[in-house]
Amino acid sequence: MVLTLYKLDPSSSVRAVLMTIEALNIQDIEYIDVNLLTGEHLKDEYVQLNPQHTIPTLKDDDFVIWDSHAISSYLVNKYASDESLYPGEIKMRAIIDQRLHFDSGILFPALRGAVEPVIYRGEKLFRPENLDKIKSAYGFTNKFLTTPWLAGDQLTIADICCIATVSSMNEIFPVAEDIYPNLAAWMARCSEQHFYKKGNLPGLNIFRELLKSKLS
Ligand SMILES: N[C@@H](CCC(=O)N[C@@H](CS)C(=O)NCC(=O)O)C(=O)O
């Protein structure tokens, strides 16, 4: 196998995949940075690989797949020694898939909507209507978390994908423990995981510094 991940560490979607790679202990992988800030993702070579020109993109020999959720489930299906991160039991998998779609449809758009005007369009404040979307996303997530992990009693790729996004949103609008206690406790549980420390923290720190530089 020749695995290549096209990435840039501050991206939350990339960090979801980096965490999955750490959780699965995949060692043999080549990393190629694609700098969105200089438009590298729009160059012909990359668009031929991924016409949607997003990061992350994974190449496994001649197979190419993008979208962090699709990549994470592919990696577990292909490389995990067991299915604990993405169990096959039908109802459990349905709940995990719902959370993954929630990340794609609610969490990530709220993050991207708030961040893009600041990073790409020179705005110096987050727009109130975009902060409202983050608060609404926090509210939903807090309500889902009636169990220790997002899809029940077991940590899965639903947690990995959603914590990548929520930890980034937390840099924009910190999660208040008194308003979102379940969410705050889940974030603390996620941050104790070895894959979070290696796969999420380094890029999250870069993301924080990037925001700081754009807002100042
Ligand atoms: N749903 C996708 C979102 C990927 C995405 O939008 N990534 C951003 C960076 S965080 C990107 O590549 N933006 C550049 C573009 O859309 O052209 C995923 O989970 O991978």
> Residue 1 has what pLDDT?
76
A 10 A CB-CB count for 143 gives 11
> Residue 157 has what pLDDT?
98
Pick the closest to residue 57 from 124, 134, 5, 100 (CA basis). Answer: 5
- Give the catalytic positions in this structure: 11
Question: For residue 37, with 0-12 CB atoms within 10 Å meaning exposed, 13-18 middle and 19 or more buried, which class applies?
Answer: exposed
CA distance 43 to 211: 25
pLDDT tens string 127-141: 999 999 999 999 999
Q: Is the CB of 50 under 6 A from ligand 1?
A: no
Nearest-atom index, ligand 1, CA of 56: 20
pLDDT tens string 165-198: 999 999 999 999 999 999 999 999 999 999 999 9
> Residue 13 has what pLDDT?
98
Specify whether the CB–CB gap between 36 and 8 falls below 8 A. Answer: yes
> Residue 38 has what pLDDT?
94
What are the structural domains, with CATH classification, of the chain? 3-79 (3.40.30.10), 90-215 (1.20.1050.10)
Pocket test for ligand 1, best of 13, 41, 157 (most atoms within 8 A of CB): 13
**Atom 13 of ligand 1 has which residue's CA nearest to it?**
54
Which residue stretches of the chain have pLDDT < 50? none
Nearest-atom index, ligand 1, CA of 104: 1
Q: Is the CB of 20 under 6 A from ligand 1?
A: no
Pick the closest to residue 199 from 13, 2, 34, 4 (CA basis). Answer: 13
Q: Is the CB of 104 under 6 A from ligand 1?
A: yes
Q: Is the CB of 168 under 6 A from ligand 1?
A: no
Q: Give the global pTM.
A: 0.98
CA distance 200 to 90: 29
